[in-house]
Amino acid sequence: MDNIVIHKAATRGSANHGWLHSYHSFSFAGYYNAERIHFGALRVLNDDTVSGGMGFGTHPHDNMEIISIPLEGDLEHKDSMGNTTVIRNGDVQAMSAGTGIQHSEYNKNKNEQVKFLQIWIFPNKKNVTPRYDQVTLNIQDRHNRLQQVLSPNAEDEGVWIHQDAWFHLGNFEKDKTFEYQIKKAGNGVYAFILKGKFLMNGVEAATRDGIGISGVEKINFSSLSEDAEILLMEVPMQLS
C-alpha cells in the first residue's frame, strides 16, 4: 500500500533576511515542524532566492551530502578543499561533507538575483573524505522525459553521492504521461514541482508543492499544464 505525504507550497516554513528569502520544505534553522523533520534520507529542501552580490559566508558542514541545483543566475562557490566555481542553471553540484568542510556561496552578480535549491541527504557512510562534484547537463535532454542528475554511481549521468539515491529533472508539455520505476526496494520518491501542475498516482500538485510517495514500485505521472517542470528525488526510507 502506498503512503503519501503532501506539502503544499503555502505551508512551507519561510525566512526573509532581506538579502535571502528561503522556503523550507522540512524543519530548518528557525522553522520547526515535528511532522516535517525529513522524508527518509531527505533531510533538507530549501528553495532560496539570494539578492545581487549577497550570499552565505564561510560556514562548516560534516557528515551530510549537500546538493545545489541552480534555477536562475550565477552562484559562486568556494570551499576549504580549494574549489572556486560558479554554478548556473543546467549545472548540478554535490559535496560530501564527511569529516568536515567549510564553504561559502555568493551571488556573483550585483544586479541579478540567484535562485537555487539546496538539498541535504543523510549519507550511508560517515566520516568519509570530503569531496566536491559538479556537472553541466544539457537541459534539452529533459524535454518530455526524465533526465538523471544524481545517483550513487560515479560512472552514471549526473553527480554522485554516498547514498542509494537517484534524482531526475523533467520538463513536460501538457498532457504527457510517464512512469517512474523505483530503483531500489524500500526507497520512496519525493517530488518537488518547480513549475506547473502534475498528477501523481491520482494526487494533483502545483508549483512548489512537494509530494512524498513510498511503499510502491512505480509512480505514474501526468503533466496538467504547459512547460511543467518537476524534480524527483528517490531516497531510502530507512536510515542506516
**Domains of the chain, first to last:** 13-136 (2.60.120.10), 139-236 (2.60.120.10)
The contacts of residue 58 (CB under 8 Å, 6+ apart) are 78, 102, 103, 104
Give the other-Cβ count within 10 Å of 118's Cβ.
19
Residues of the chain whose pLDDT is less than 50? none
pLDDT at 126: 96
Q: What is the pLDDT of residues 28-62, one digit of tens each?
A: 999 999 999 999 999 999 999 999 999 999 999 99
pLDDT at 2: 75
Decide: helix, strand or coil at residue 201: coil
Residue indicated by cell numbers 550513487? 152
- Report the distance separating Cα 10 and Cα 207, nearest Å: 10
The contacts of residue 113 (CB under 8 Å, 6+ apart) are 49, 50, 51, 52, 72, 73, 107
- Report the distance separating Cα 32 and Cα 26, nearest Å: 8
Question: Which grid cell is 10?
Answer: 503555502
- Report the distance separating Cα 143 and Cα 20, nearest Å: 31
From residue 192, give the alpha-carbon distance in Å to each of 37, 78, 84, 156, 196: 16, 27, 29, 22, 11
Cβ burial 177-213 (10 Å sphere, 16+ → b, else e) = ebebebeeeebbbbbbbbebbbebeeeebeebbbbbb
pLDDT at 240: 74
From residue 113, give the alpha-carbon distance in Å to each of 10, 67, 91, 93, 175: 22, 20, 17, 19, 32
pLDDT at 134: 96
Question: Which grid cell is 207?
Answer: 508549483
Question: Which grid cell is 201?
Answer: 498516482
Look at the chain and count its residues. Answer: 240
